[in-house]
A and B are shown apart, each in its own frame.
Chain A
Amino acid sequence: MLGNVRLAVQHLSFVILMYGGRFGVHLGSAVPCFSCPYVYGCGGNCYLMGLQGYIGFGLTWAQLWGYQGLRALFWLVVFAAAASLLGKLWCGFVCPFGLVSDWLTYLRRFLGVASLRLSRAARARLAPVKYFLLAWLALGPVLVNLGLLHPDFYLPFCQICPGKSLLPLFEGEAKYLTLELTNSVTLSLSVVLMAASGLTVAGSFFRERLFCVFCPMLALFNLLRPLALARIVKDPGLCQGCGACSRSCMMDMDELWLEREHDSGDDGECLGCGGCVEACSSRGCLSLKFLGGTVVGSSPELARGLRTGGGRARG
């Protein structure tokens, strides 16, 4: 049931964030997910672009205390408020780029291809990449501003983000899937973008939400986690250790499964999709909470509502 709700919300979000602008809907420049401004007529701008923009362009020390600074602060507060309100549910329920990745996963499941799992060691090795990218998108514009980096490194993350090349395809725009030959910097960045896009598409087919492993937005969420009002919480006393949560996790996390003492459920790479809550058959062991109140808790009934293999075979 929760999975169906998620699917419905994801698709609705996709329509709003990808095409909302065409109907006069625009949620501003602090959307805490990949609502890509490169999509013509999008319904809101990903905060990562705003963040790079405010850091990098025209934001001098003097301007920091003027209108520009206030504007940057305003969007930062809006972003922090939005990110705190829904926490990582933005990733699991709202992100349009996440949904595109999910479509590839559905295709893989339909074809019966086994999923590639990342071992804990592999995940641990890859986890810092998202923080590196976050640092890159924050420092790059500063270096450009200081004249230490070529000006074409503006928006350094957006230039290599696969969302830039792939999401515009859904409004019929393929121009970001070409090599930018203006100079060696643009060429290099576009080559990286092509490679990242190709790897994202191929990798997301074999491994659910592959890009999220590297996503700097997730790194930002992790930094803001103490403020999150929506949380996934575990009661370790009720856990029977069956591993259903781990198997259902988009990110192959096993921390939640192995947790025996604390109630933290959405650490690290959790995307807040609620898959673990839905998969767990121990009543009340896992729950999605908002402001401390349970929105949905695990139960055998909720778990059985999942579509199992028998669903197809029944017909």
Chain B
Amino acid sequence: MREDNSGGGTRAGGAGTVPGSGAGSVLTAEGRAEKIREKAGKRILAEWEAERALLSARDDRHESLDYFLDLVKAPPSPAEIEARLRSRVVGVVCLQAPPELFLALGLHPYRLYGGSQNAAAVAQPGLPALMCPLLKSLMGEMTADPGTAGIPWILPTTCDWTSGLPSLKDVYFPGSGDVRVVDLPRSKENPVSTEGWFLEMAGLWKYLKTLAGRKPSRGGLLAAVGTVERARAAFGETVRLRREGRVPAVWFLLAARTFFLDRAENWTRAVEGANKHFAALEPRLKNGVFLTGSPVVYPNFKLLHLLEEAGLSVLGDDLCSGERLLFRHVALKDKSVEGVLRALAQTCHDGCLCPVFVENKRRLGPVVEAARECAVGGGKTARPPGGDKTAGSAVRGVVFHLLKGCHPYEIDSVVLERETRRLGLRFIRLETDYAAEDRLTISNRLEALRPTLDAGD
């Protein structure tokens, strides 16, 4: 339960909810909150450093990857990013706010999601026990660095946890930054919801203009589109190399994690450099799997390490923290401001495969596409008359990562299991959270899965 907090109304006030701040403490509420913040910060930092050390010690580490490792030296702080990039930082929950809009106005989009187990633990008391670990961790990170709560947020109403986040933020961080709610229509592919979502995007664009305090030119918007398009192209090349089994999952998801931590141009250059390194790596197509489900977020790479230890190669994913982070390409024919807004809006709504949408019948598309792209031998996958869409593919199974409390993906996993089995692929659902206790269980299940994957390299 939340404790009485005499510091209410200040950013630090919410921190008084953290255990260990008993009523008998001689510290003032402010001092107590500071102490908790410091302690939480240390614990979270330790986790980031431990994961970074693990990645740094890998055999396939290369100097081209140091850029990404440098960006995760410590948990990101909006204040630090703001000072480094000299751009106002705006928090973004989920993927439905196109980065192009921010960049066109000189703002920097900062993705709000937490991957730290310690942060989730710090935030735990008072929050629902089965809260999405991603957001619980975010709440913990805000405890350690209230600056995250202080920046303006863009919040599309995706899942119930996300939609409830502004209320939780108000309770724990009263008086913190604005939350601009963007109402996401749950129905896709119908003209009414498409039009409604476009109007939301137009509203967001107006709001961002107010935040930036400047009037953008159409050229500025097109330049931002070009900047992100180059990032998409570089990332797309990484995806292609990944299909060839040359990009280990940890590096891929680390690169994706850092997109929101630096200027897009710098990130693109770094990805292009890393691609050269990946291209020189030996392909590992054996025991290829496709990773799907709830996002995997740095520093919680538990699943990725376990997959590697079990000898499985992740050849593709459709995680919103992975390949879906940057849609492959935004087709843009009408280059008026309205045309650009429409294109971006439709891509991040109709093209989004998040299971919060009512109709998600396209869900299997990325799995089939990846399976075809991973044709053994690099040629086109033969498609026998029987319609086996995955024949000849190095992708032999689907690993479904389900974070506890993530109900949309829980439903999604049932549908996807049936569909992937019909394609002749193995399917495993791993329900977990950020805690390390279930490592052995997951490891055993992956070990049992491996022999059933029959593709070789």
Contact digits for B228-254, partner A, Cβ 8 Å, 1 yes 0 no: 011011001001100000000000000
Contacts of B191 on A, CB cut-off 8 Å?
A: 119-120, 254
Decide if B450 is an interface residue (CB 8 Å cutoff).
no
Within 8 A of B (CB), among A240-297: 240-248, 254, 257-258, 260, 275, 279-285
Contacts of A309 on B, CB cut-off 8 Å?
A: 221-223, 225-226, 229, 332, 335, 340
Please determine whether A238 and B339 come into contact, CB atoms closer than 8 angstroms. no
CA distance A194 to B400 in the complex (A): 64
Q: A243-B351, A247-B343 known; 8 other A-B pairs, CB under 8 Å?
A: A112-B335, A112-B337, A244-B347, A300-B240, A309-B221, A309-B226, A309-B335, A313-B219
Please determine whether B327 and A242 come into contact, CB atoms closer than 8 angstroms. yes
Contacts of B221 on A, CB cut-off 8 Å?
A: 309
Chain A residue, CB-CB nearest to B324:
A240
Stretch in contact with the other chain, from B18-26, B37-45, B360-368: B360-368
CA distance A136 to B256 in the complex (A): 60
Decide if A94 is an interface residue (CB 8 Å cutoff).
no
Please determine whether A283 and B373 come into contact, CB atoms closer than 8 angstroms. yes
Please determine whether A282 and B365 come into contact, CB atoms closer than 8 angstroms. yes
Please determine whether A241 and B351 come into contact, CB atoms closer than 8 angstroms. yes
| Closest Cβ–Cβ distance, residue A18 to chain B (whole Å) | 26
Please determine whether B342 and A244 come into contact, CB atoms closer than 8 angstroms. no
CA distance A304 to B240 in the complex (A): 14
Decide if B188 is an interface residue (CB 8 Å cutoff).
yes
Contacts of B335 on A, CB cut-off 8 Å?
A: 109, 112, 309
Please determine whether A114 and B338 come into contact, CB atoms closer than 8 angstroms. yes
Decide if B189 is an interface residue (CB 8 Å cutoff).
yes
Contact digits for A214-258, partner B, Cβ 8 Å, 1 yes 0 no: 000000000000000000000001111111111110000010011
Contacts of B167 on A, CB cut-off 8 Å?
A: none
CA distance A119 to B329 in the complex (A): 25
Q: A243-B346, A244-B347, A283-B369 are in contact. Are A312 and B222 (CB under 8 A)?
A: yes
Contact digits for A96-131, partner B, Cβ 8 Å, 1 yes 0 no: 000000000000010011110001100000000000
Please determine whether A284 and B372 come into contact, CB atoms closer than 8 angstroms. yes
Contacts of A260 on B, CB cut-off 8 Å?
A: 361-362
Please determine whether A237 and B365 come into contact, CB atoms closer than 8 angstroms. yes
| Closest Cβ–Cβ distance, residue A238 to chain B (whole Å) | 5
By CB atoms of chain B within 10 A, which of A244, A283, A312 has the most? Answer: A244
Decide if A196 is an interface residue (CB 8 Å cutoff).
no
A-B pairs with the 4 shortest C-beta distances? A310-B226, A242-B351, A309-B222, A313-B223
CA distance A310 to B232 in the complex (A): 12
Decide if A33 is an interface residue (CB 8 Å cutoff).
no
Of the residues A115, A239, A275, A303, contact of B328 by C-beta under 8 Å: A303
CA distance A38 to B249 in the complex (A): 64
Contacts of A114 on B, CB cut-off 8 Å?
A: 334, 336-339
Decide if B350 is an interface residue (CB 8 Å cutoff).
yes
Decide if A314 is an interface residue (CB 8 Å cutoff).
yes
Within 8 A of B (CB), among A170-185: none
CA distance A258 to B194 in the complex (A): 12
Contacts of A241 on B, CB cut-off 8 Å?
A: 188-189, 350-351, 362
Please determine whether A281 and B336 come into contact, CB atoms closer than 8 angstroms. no
Decide if B154 is an interface residue (CB 8 Å cutoff).
no
Decide if B218 is an interface residue (CB 8 Å cutoff).
yes
Contacts of B366 on A, CB cut-off 8 Å?
A: 240
Chain B residue, CB-CB nearest to A111:
B336
Chain A residue, CB-CB nearest to B339:
A114
Contacts of A283 on B, CB cut-off 8 Å?
A: 369, 372-373
Within 8 A of A (CB), among B285-340: 327-340
Within 8 A of A (CB), among B93-109: none
Chain A residue, CB-CB nearest to B332:
A308
CA distance A45 to B223 in the complex (A): 45
CA distance A284 to B368 in the complex (A): 11
Contacts of A301 on B, CB cut-off 8 Å?
A: 236
Decide if B353 is an interface residue (CB 8 Å cutoff).
yes
By CB atoms of chain A within 10 A, which of B191, B240, B327, B362 has the most? Answer: B362
User: Residues on A close to B: CB < 8 A?
Assistant: 109, 112-115, 119-120, 237-248, 254, 257-258, 260, 275, 279-285, 300-301, 303-304, 306, 308-314
CA distance A228 to B16 in the complex (A): 73
Contacts of B365 on A, CB cut-off 8 Å?
A: 237-240, 282, 285
Q: A113-B336, A247-B343 are in contact. Are A300 and B328 (CB under 8 A)?
A: yes
CA distance A245 to B350 in the complex (A): 12
Please determine whether B227 and A310 come into contact, CB atoms closer than 8 angstroms. yes
Please determine whether A281 and B346 come into contact, CB atoms closer than 8 angstroms. no
Chain A residue, CB-CB nearest to B194:
A243
Decide if B389 is an interface residue (CB 8 Å cutoff).
yes
Contacts of A303 on B, CB cut-off 8 Å?
A: 328-329, 331
Of the residues B230, B346, B369, contact of A282 by C-beta under 8 Å: B369
Please determine whether B329 and A281 come into contact, CB atoms closer than 8 angstroms. yes
Please determine whether A115 and B336 come into contact, CB atoms closer than 8 angstroms. yes
Please determine whether A308 and B226 come into contact, CB atoms closer than 8 angstroms. yes
By CB atoms of chain B within 10 A, which of A113, A241, A244 has the most? Answer: A241
Of the residues A239, A281, A312, contact of B219 by C-beta under 8 Å: A312
Contacts of B364 on A, CB cut-off 8 Å?
A: 237
Of the residues B229, B368, B389, contact of A304 by C-beta under 8 Å: B229
Chain B residue, CB-CB nearest to A276:
B331
Contacts of A313 on B, CB cut-off 8 Å?
A: 219, 222-223, 225-226
Please determine whether A258 and B189 come into contact, CB atoms closer than 8 angstroms. yes
Q: A241-B351, A304-B233, A304-B329 are in contact. Are A109 and B334 (CB under 8 A)?
A: yes
Contacts of A120 on B, CB cut-off 8 Å?
A: 191
| Closest Cβ–Cβ distance, residue B251 to chain A (whole Å) | 20
Q: A115-B334, A237-B368, A309-B221 are in contact. Are A244 and B329 (CB under 8 A)?
A: yes
Please determine whether A310 and B351 come into contact, CB atoms closer than 8 angstroms. no
Contacts of B334 on A, CB cut-off 8 Å?
A: 109, 114-115, 247
Contacts of B373 on A, CB cut-off 8 Å?
A: 283
CA distance A243 to B333 in the complex (A): 12
By CB atoms of chain A within 10 A, which of B230, B236, B331 has the most? Answer: B331
Contacts of B336 on A, CB cut-off 8 Å?
A: 109, 112-115
CA distance A72 to B214 in the complex (A): 67
CA distance A280 to B229 in the complex (A): 15
| Closest Cβ–Cβ distance, residue A101 to chain B (whole Å) | 15
CA distance A311 to B239 in the complex (A): 23
Give 29 CB contacts A-B under 8 Å.
A238-B369, A239-B365, A240-B362, A241-B188, A241-B351, A242-B331, A242-B346, A242-B350, A244-B330, A257-B189, A281-B329, A282-B328, A282-B369, A300-B239, A303-B331, A304-B232, A306-B331, A306-B332, A308-B225, A308-B229, A309-B221, A309-B340, A310-B222, A310-B225, A311-B226, A312-B219, A312-B222, A313-B225, A313-B226
